[in-house]
Structure formats: C-alpha cells, structure tokens
Structure 1
Amino acid sequence: MTIDMSMWTGRIDSAEGDAARRWHQLIQPLAAGSTPGIAILGFACDEGVRRNQGRVGAAAGPLALRRALANLAHHPTLPLYDAGTVVCDDGDLDAAQQRLAASVAAIVQAGHLPLLLGGGHETAYGHWLGLATAQPAKRIGIVNFDAHFDLRTARQASSGTPFAQIAADCAARGQHFRYLCLGVAETANTRALFEAAANLGAEWRLDSDMTPWQLADTRHQLAGFIDSVDAVYLTIDLDVLPASVMPAVSAPAGYGVDISVIEALVAKVASSGKLIGADLVEFNPTFDIDSHGAKAAARLAWSIARKLRR
C-alpha cells in the first residue's frame, strides 16, 4: 500500500524549538521495524452509507481528517505513523473490509495501536475482524459512541449492520458479544432495534442521560464495562455529537452529546491500558461548515493519542 504523506503540512514555529512542533513535523510513514506507536489508517469507503440510504461522501473523510490533524500542537504521545488508506471504490464492501482487517491485524501484530479514520461505520466490521485476528484469545469489548445501535438486520452489509455482523461472528466463534453503546437517540432507533440490543445482551446509555451533570454516572457505567473485558475496541460515530458541532455526517443529530462529555469518556478509555484499536467514522467533508466538524473530529483523535496508556 502506497503511503502519501503530502497532506501532512502546516505551520512551523522554528524560533521556539522542538517543544513547538506540530503533528505534521513528527508523523512518519509506517515501516517494518518501526518503534511501537500509533498507526493512522484510513478507510476511504462509503458504500455502506449508500446501502443504508445515507448521505454519501464519507470516502473523503480520511484525507480531510488527516489535514485537520496535521497542524495540531504536538504534546508527548507514542510515536505517530501514517499507515496509508484502504480504498473501496468498486462497490465490493466485503472485499474492502477483508483488506482493512488484514491491515489492522498486521498493525497490531507489529505492536502498534491502529487509529482508523473512516469512512462510514462499515469501517467497524473490518476493524473488529483485524483486532480479533490479531488478539484471538482476548475478550474484546466494544465501546461505541453513537446515536445509533447499528444492529440492523439486512440482506447485505451496510453502515447500519456492523455490530450485528460482529455479534454473529462472536456466536460462530463461541465468544460472548460485549457491546456498550453510548449516546443512543430514542428518536433514531426503532423499538425493534432496542429489542435486538436487549436480546444480544448489549448495554447502552441514552443521549438524554449523558449531560455534563450526569458525567459521573456515565463514567461509572463505562468503568464497569472496561473492567469486564480483556481489551477494548473504541469506535466513535461522529453523529453522536450535536449537529451544531458536527454537521458533516450522514445523519446529523438533533440533540447529541456535548463534546466535552465525549472527550472525557474517550480519555478514560484511552488511559485504561486496555485500548487495542480506535476509529472515528462517518465524517463527510461535503457537508462541513468552515471545517467545524473536521476540527471537532481531530480534537477527539488528538485526545486519544494524548491520553493513550499501554
């Protein structure tokens, strides 16, 4: 896979020395033998969004998010790498997810943490397959910040089916499906989806129960979930944020969860010592307004890297 580093550009404050560097000055292309660090991998795909009747354009997300990350101030993190982008441009979502899984597995087996930039939430199935391949003995719990359960039953895979697919794979492997969805909007999920979540033993918290003054309760629920698994896969569907903050998604939220709450909870996952993979999905730059959405998404990705403890 060719790794294009041309988008990693930005301001240089040379008069202030190394302590004034930004991400674009430190990130390197991932290579064999690289010191374990954080490997940014793109998934340029919105075939799942199209199948789910959403607003297409998320395939352009990885490039836009890299550009938003490039100029952010660098504070101590693990080494940063760009691992390239897996592309789905022929409509064959299954094949693209398998390629994504292979790339994720290779990243994890080399000692890195994959930080994926989607793409629609179909990213999640390929990401999980890669993690499960690389860590087959671990009980992997999924923490999904999302307005939607994404547990749909459908004739073909889409951005609305990844966690139903993962649940089916867990059953086939004789593994327990461990899934916590934070930020669920009752207005965006039918009773059938709530019943499906309950039948699968999933846990969730409504967006209306995730206000800043309820943060302590949400932290407690999240901590209990993290304690119950060996490893955590973190996935952030950016439509969990209010539309005023994140207009650039397939399905903007009329309510949403405050970004300060999301960031605090993301930091808890990243600092738990159990995080083995993370992604941000559904960013669609076609609908961004003055880069508001890109900046919010980049802030969350930056927070994961900043707080990561391994």
Structure 2
Amino acid sequence: MHPTYSVPELSIWKGRASADQAYLHENIRLLDLGAAQIKAATSLQPALLGYATDAGVSRNSGRPGAAEGPRALREVFGRMPVGKGGAQTLWDAGNFVCPDGELETTQEGFSMGITRLIQNGYFPLGIGGGHDIAYAHFKGLAAGLKQGTRLGILNLDAHLDLRKPDPLPHSGSPFLQIAAHCAEIGMDFKYCCLGVRRDANPRELWDRARALNVTLIERPQLSPDTLPEVLQTIRGFVDGLDALYLTIDLDGFASAYAPGVSAPSPMGFTPENILPILDVLLKSKKLRSADVAELNPAYDRDSQTAVLAAGLFHRILSDRGLF
C-alpha cells in the first residue's frame, strides 16, 4: 500500500458498554486498505478515512494542529448511539499521514484510498486535517465513479479556497486545483460554496469564482427570511448532477460553535443554518461521499468542535438509513 498509509486501530474506539450494541464503538470493524483485497460492501456502508496532516494549513499561514483531527473525531464519534434501526457496521479504514511535510504524497495516497473505497461499494467519510483534503478526496472520487458521471461539490465554508498554489498547493487552493483537474479529464467543474463571507475572501477570489461559474451563497443569505430561496438554489444545483461530494470546513461555523479550527471567526454560520441544507442533500439521494476539514483539537474546548463534526456525520448516516 501507499507509504503514507497507517492501518486502523481498534484501541481508539471507546465508550459506554451495552447489551445490544447500542453505541457506535461497539459496531466498529477495521478495513485495512493495505491488503491485496478488501471486503466488498454488501450495501453502501460507511467507511471512515483519516487525512492526518496540517502541512497544507501551515503552507497557508494557518495555525497547526489539524493533523490530530482524525483522532479527535473518532474519540467522540464512538460514544454516540446507533440509530433506531439497530446495530450497523461502521468501518474504520485508517489514516493517511504526512510525517515529512510532503503534502502531495499524502494527497496521492488519500486519493487512492477514496477510489478503492468507492470501487468496493463504500460510502467514504473523510476526516481532516486541512481543507486540502478536498482536492485529494475529489480526485479519488472522480476516479472511482463511472466515466461520464456528472459530479459536483458542495462546500460549506467561509472561504472560497480558490487561491493559486504559491508555488506549492495548500489548504487555500484545493478548488482551483480541482478546476484544473476537471479540465484535464474533460469533466465540467461544478462547485457551490455555501456560507462564504465578504470579510474572509479578497476581491481576486470573488473574481475567480465568477470566472469559473461557481454557485455562491453568502453567509447573510442563511437567514430564516431567505432560506427558502437558498434551498431552491441548492436544489437547482443538485438537479444537474448525478453524484455529489459534500465537504464541510468547520471554520465556516461561528467560533461559538467551533472554536477548535485552524481559522476561527465569530461571524460564521450556525448548525441551525446548515441542517435544512443537509436535509435537501440527503433527500436528493445523490450524496456519494463527504468529509469534514480543519478540525483542530489543540484549540478545542471540551471537544466541542469534534462533537459538532461527529454530530454532522451522525446525521448524514442516520438520514441515509445507514444506521
């Protein structure tokens, strides 16, 4: 397997014991992507895959610590209950790490891991790590899906992340890299950024977003008065797709809800803003994979941000009927 791959560890999964496997940690199974063959999923089963690096954050002048995000999320996710459908399997496929700062090598490995999960019938849940996870995730997803699939991205984020590599790629450049990759493989670049803020992006990035025909939903639009129009915009975006990749940058949330991120701000959105949007995506039946990015436990309070990220995963999987 790829040299940056680290096999999953059962010891990290802990929590309350039950007689009927009522908690997620009691339903974990390990999936070693380094094996010559891996078990094919009998249904669209969820598989966690960590992106344990903050090298891209450091390159983008952010505060380090997100490399520990995958560990922090697993620690709180395992304590959550299984849904009303009863015990279901949650696969842990391990991490891709970056011990030497060679971000591009880690991205290559993570992409290969996502492709392998997709081709074997799993629903990947990526755990960052910096938001440079998005380039690696999209590239792996595109390679794993049937050729000609109309694949789009919905990014919940304060930032457009359309910066140019300078000269190396970083956590602020993934969607410009994706646009270039789409051009290389003959795929339309379909990108919606939801929650983007005027105080968090220079004019250059707004101009680039318009040039790339990005669907933009700004933070002030996520109010109760304008939510119906936002949901209609999202439905229109999703209607033109066959498959959807959801990426959630936790620094898009207000720091009152997500203090443990690489770039916190009190001006972000709230969980209540986001849940109706998740419902639209889930009802579309087109969501094919998802991830969270920028979880930085070094700055978290009482695991608050990790619990938020795990709660988002729990809602996605519960509403998809996976558990």
TM over 0.5: yes
How far residue 181 of structure 1 moved from its aligned partner, in angstroms, is 0.2
Q: Is the Cα contact below 8 Å between 1:285 and 1:294 reproduced in 2? A: yes
Aligned with residue 76 of structure 2, among 51, 68, 75? 68
Amino acid at match of 2:115: A
Amino acid at match of 1:87: V
How far residue 34 of structure 1 moved from its aligned partner, in angstroms, is 4.0
Matches within 5 A, 1:47-62: 47-62=55-70
Q: Is the Cα contact below 8 Å between 2:40 and 2:121 reproduced in 1? A: no
Match for residue 232 of structure 1? 244
Point out the more displaced range, 93-102 or 260-269.
260-269
Point out the more displaced range, 70-79 or 205-214.
70-79
Match for residue 271 of structure 2? 259
1:29 aligned onto 2:34: no
How far residue 309 of structure 1 moved from its aligned partner, in angstroms, is 5.9
Amino acid at match of 1:195: D
Point out the more displaced range, 109-118 or 22-31.
22-31
Question: Deviations for 1:232-266, whole angstroms, at most 9, x for unmatched residues?
Answer: 00000001110000011111122111102212212
Question: Deviations for 1:172-208, whole angstroms, at most 9, x for unmatched residues?
Answer: 2222100000000100001110000000010111111
Question: Deviations for 1:73-111, whole angstroms, at most 9, x for unmatched residues?
Answer: 110386321111111121111111010000000000000
Aligned with residue 107 of structure 1, among 117, 120, 133? 117
Question: Deviations for 1:263-303, whole angstroms, at most 9, x for unmatched residues?
Answer: 22123213321111100000000000111111111111111
How far residue 115 of structure 1 moved from its aligned partner, in angstroms, is 0.4
Taking the aligned partners of 2:202 and 2:185, their CA distance within structure 1 comes to 29
Amino acid at match of 1:143: L
Question: Deviations for 1:52-92, whole angstroms, at most 9, x for unmatched residues?
Answer: 00011000000000111011111038632111111112111
Task: Evaluate the alpha carbon distance shift between residue 178 and residue 153 of structure 1 in structure 2; reply closer, same or farther with a 3 A threshold.
Answer: same
1:6 aligned counterpart, secondary structure: helix
Match for residue 218 of structure 1? 230
TM-score by length of 1: 0.95
1:147 aligned onto 2:158: yes
Amino acid at match of 1:9: K
Q: Is the Cα contact below 8 Å between 2:41 and 2:121 reproduced in 1? A: no
1:43 aligned counterpart, secondary structure: strand
Q: Is the Cα contact below 8 Å between 2:243 and 2:286 reproduced in 1? A: yes
Matches within 5 A, 1:197-216: 197-216=209-228
Taking the aligned partners of 2:115 and 2:283, their CA distance within structure 1 comes to 22
Point out the more displaced range, 290-299 or 112-121.
290-299
Aligned with residue 282 of structure 2, among 270, 286, 298? 270
2:10 aligned counterpart, secondary structure: coil
Match for residue 119 of structure 1? 129
Aligned with residue 94 of structure 1, among 93, 96, 104? 104
1:181 aligned onto 2:190: no
> Please, what is the CA RMSD of the aligned residues?
1.5
Q: Is the Cα contact below 8 Å between 1:48 and 1:120 reproduced in 2? A: yes
Q: Is the Cα contact below 8 Å between 1:270 and 1:309 reproduced in 2? A: no
How far residue 212 of structure 1 moved from its aligned partner, in angstroms, is 3.5
Amino acid at match of 2:160: F
Taking the aligned partners of 1:88 and 1:267, their CA distance within structure 2 comes to 34
Taking the aligned partners of 2:211 and 2:41, their CA distance within structure 1 comes to 43
Taking the aligned partners of 1:123 and 1:64, their CA distance within structure 2 comes to 17
Structure 1, unpaired ranges of 5+: none
Match for residue 34 of structure 2? none
Q: Is the Cα contact below 8 Å between 1:41 and 1:84 reproduced in 2? A: yes
Q: Is the Cα contact below 8 Å between 1:181 and 1:203 reproduced in 2? A: yes
Q: Is the Cα contact below 8 Å between 1:211 and 1:257 reproduced in 2? A: no
Q: Is the Cα contact below 8 Å between 2:97 and 2:106 reproduced in 1? A: yes
Structure 2, unpaired ranges of 5+: 1-5, 32-37
Taking the aligned partners of 1:195 and 1:67, their CA distance within structure 2 comes to 41
Match for residue 193 of structure 1? 205
Give the aligned length.
306
Match for residue 83 of structure 1? 93
Q: Please identify runs of 4+ aligned residues in structure 1 that moved more than 4 A.
A: none
Taking the aligned partners of 2:119 and 2:187, their CA distance within structure 1 comes to 21
Taking the aligned partners of 1:258 and 1:215, their CA distance within structure 2 comes to 13
Taking the aligned partners of 2:282 and 2:130, their CA distance within structure 1 comes to 22
Q: Sequence identity, in percent?
A: 40
Q: Is the Cα contact below 8 Å between 1:38 and 1:112 reproduced in 2? A: yes
Amino acid at match of 1:91: G
Taking the aligned partners of 2:262 and 2:72, their CA distance within structure 1 comes to 16
Taking the aligned partners of 1:106 and 1:139, their CA distance within structure 2 comes to 20
Point out the more displaced range, 54-63 or 71-80.
71-80
How far residue 146 of structure 1 moved from its aligned partner, in angstroms, is 0.3
1:55 aligned counterpart, secondary structure: coil
